[in-house]
Chain A
Amino acid sequence: MSELLGHYNYWIVIVLMMTGFYIVIARPNLIKKVIGLFIFQTSVFIFFISIAKVEGGTAPIIEEGISVYSNPLPHVLILTAIVVGLATTALGLALVVRIREAYGTINEDDIHVQDEER
């Protein structure tokens, strides 16, 4: 039981990751695909933040009487990864806008049908 509860943040990561992944694969709506992709990426951000935690550690600011600090490096990495994730989402949405202008739909199945016709 403590295995389950003690690592609850990792369980959240796994659930989020699989949710996002499922949306990307199963949903034909392109906007939903982008959302799924972003949830998928976000789960990895939480994972990185989780591994940064040092038991009993505080925020990494030098203070008298404190000797244990959490690891700040993963936070910095994730700041970069968030920017990358945002850029990906923005580009994905921009593409969806263009696809809608060109095809008149954002449903993957309809797009396939239109592609086959030509």
Chain B
Amino acid sequence: MLSTHLPALQVVLPLASAPVCLLLRHPRHAWACALTISWLVLAIAVMLVQQVAATGTISYAIGAWATPWGIEYRIDMAGALMILVVATIGAVVLPFAGRSIQQEIRKKHSGLFYTCFLLCLAGLLGIVVTGDAFNLFVFLEISSLSSYVLISLGCTRRALTAAFQYLVMGTIGATFILIGVGLLYMLTGTLNMVDISQRLTEVADTRTIRVAFAFVTVGVSIKLALFPLHLWLPNAYTFAPSVVSAFFAATATKVGIYVLLRLFFTVFGIGFSFVAMHVGEIMMLLAAAAMMVASLVAIFQNNVKRMLAYSSVAQIGYIILGISLASRDGVAAGMIHLFNHALIKCALFLSLGCIFLRLGSVELQDMRGLAKRMPWTMAAFVAGGLSLIGLPLTSGFISKWYLVGAALTDGYWPLAVLILLSSLLALIYIWRVVETAYFQVPGAGMPLVKEAPASMLIPAWLLIGANFYIGVDASLVSGIAHQAAGILIEQGVR
């Protein structure tokens, strides 16, 4: 009986427990509450994935209101994959948060931190499961508003300005999406995404729909930090608390990419998005620019967190590149990289969190000779870094293999060259850290730090382990991604 309500529970559970955390207030209790909820959410997510795999797309009517009128929750294979990403990262990051937050956030704010974290989790999951365009906007704002707060909790004052900058850009993006939804509603008279897509065929050749398309695309692109709309991202990731950076790098931008997939394929269709509006070419150009420029900028960063933030912008480029090909292989490659990069980047940010706990800094110059003091943490960073570069036997290799394959199938060999070049740039910026931590002697007067506690190392190593597992046997992830891409392409061709 309960299993039919899983799509709603997925969102309602974290949403309803957020106020509980607020009431608990005591850091330990709030943490335990959030931890329990995040594991329950993961359990629900796994059950949902199994359901989707067994019975196909799930459609759930909220409050039993029939679909075009009521709000529909709709989960297909692509959605299931995203739910799995968000829920897994939430569940892995929270055990880490206990110690990390204790040090980085004032005690009286800890309860509030977990409240906002659960709200953000609920918002992100809501974006994925909803099949209603306006509902999507609301969930987007739930996750965004809580993420502004989470970022502002960082320990330096620059966290405040970073959060404000993100608030301004994020709100402009969300309002653009709202305008687009309004224009779509104006011509189709419906908000249900599947319903919109069916009615759109008659009115697609109007300026209103083209403007709507432009507004939502730009709005979502701000949210997912597509180059050159990524300006909020480096500061936000650099100055946010370590846990928040790890959580956002793995989920927030990825969910944005999922929304883009939904719009391009499910709502507007390939014929409109890629043929009539040429969004494929535009995205391809921006993605290629992101891969090169952001990787180059990353090389020159001395703050390692900032370096990884720029690397995130570059990696988003890879994912968008796959999607811009608009072929089954391309979209599948994009989704595989989305999944893999979520694991890699989360692990990297978590290991930086360990370093910050002990050193109180993530500046490159303070990390000299650190590998001797914190061998496990640095090993995790190196393993994640290798995967970011795309060495064989790591998950990064798998996704780049599929990406290059998809680009070559469509005859875009320059893109394959760019992917390899950008990987070389990744090698350079990861090497800078490795060189500093392993081969330089610590300066005089540098603190004698201990290895990070197990509660923080285990989450990071879990993700690293998953990363190597995928590197050896990618059949599960690539199977789900290809199935999801197949459904999206099928929806897109009409």
Contacts and interface: CB of A to CB of B under 8 A. Distances in A.
Interface of A: 21, 24, 30, 33, 37, 40-41, 44, 47-48, 51, 74, 77, 80-81, 84, 87-88, 91-92, 95-96, 98-99, 102-103, 111, 115
Count chain A CB atoms within 10 A of each CB in B149, B164, B172 and give the residue with the most. Answer: B164
A92 B164 contact: yes
Contact of A40 (B152, B161, B175): B175
Contact of A115 (B134, B158, B163, B179): B158
B162 to A, nearest CB: 10
A102 B156 CA distance: 9
A96 B164 CA distance: 8
A24 B145 contact: no
A102 B155 CA distance: 12
A77 B167 contact: no
Given A84-B138, A88-B171, A30 B164 contact: yes
Interface residues of B, number: 25
Contact of A84 (B141, B149, B158): B141
B185 interface: yes
A102 to B, nearest CB: 4
Nearest to B135: A80
Nearest to B142: A84
Given A44-B179, A92-B164, 15 more contacts: A24-B168, A41-B175, A44-B178, A47-B182, A74-B185, A84-B138, A84-B141, A87-B141, A87-B145, A92-B168, A95-B152, A99-B157, A99-B164, A103-B157, A115-B161
Given A37-B171, A74-B185, A87-B145, A81 B178 contact: yes
A77 B134 contact: yes
A98 B157 CA distance: 9
A29 to B, nearest CB: 12
Contacts of B145: 84, 87-88, 91
B148 interface: yes
Count chain B CB atoms within 10 A of each CB in A51, A91, A96 and give the residue with the most. Answer: A91
A25 to B, nearest CB: 9
Interface string B321-359: 000000000000000000000000000000000000000
Nearest to A41: B175
Nearest to B148: A91
Nearest to B181: A77
B275 to A, nearest CB: 28
Interface of B: prevailing SS: helix
B179 A99 contact: no
B301 to A, nearest CB: 16
6 contacts: A21-B172, A44-B179, A88-B171, A92-B171, A95-B167, A99-B164
B186 interface: yes
B160 interface: yes
A74 to B, nearest CB: 7
A40 B141 contact: no
A94 B185 CA distance: 34
B143 to A, nearest CB: 12
Contacts of A41: 171, 175
A95 B179 contact: no
Contact of A95 (B148, B171, B175, B186): B148
Contact of A91 (B161, B167, B179): B167
Contacts of B149: 91
A51 B148 contact: no
Contacts of A87: 141, 145
Contacts of B137: 81, 84
Nearest to B138: A80
A103 B179 CA distance: 35
A11 B138 CA distance: 27
A37 B172 contact: yes
A48 B175 CA distance: 12
B160 A102 contact: yes
A40 B167 CA distance: 14
Contacts of A47: 179, 182
Contact of B167 (A44, A84, A88): A88
B141 A88 contact: yes
Contacts of B157: 99, 102-103
Contacts of B152: 95, 98
Nearest to B158: A115
B241 to A, nearest CB: 15
A91 B174 CA distance: 15
B160 A99 contact: yes
Task: List 5 tightest A-B contacts by C-beta distance, closest first.
Answer: A102-B157, A84-B141, A95-B164, A51-B186, A99-B160
Interface in B304-324: none
Interface string B25-42: 000000000000000000
A73 B134 CA distance: 11
Given A88-B141, A91-B145, A91-B148, A51 B161 contact: no
Nearest to A13: B179
A41 B172 CA distance: 8
Contacts of A91: 145, 148-149, 167
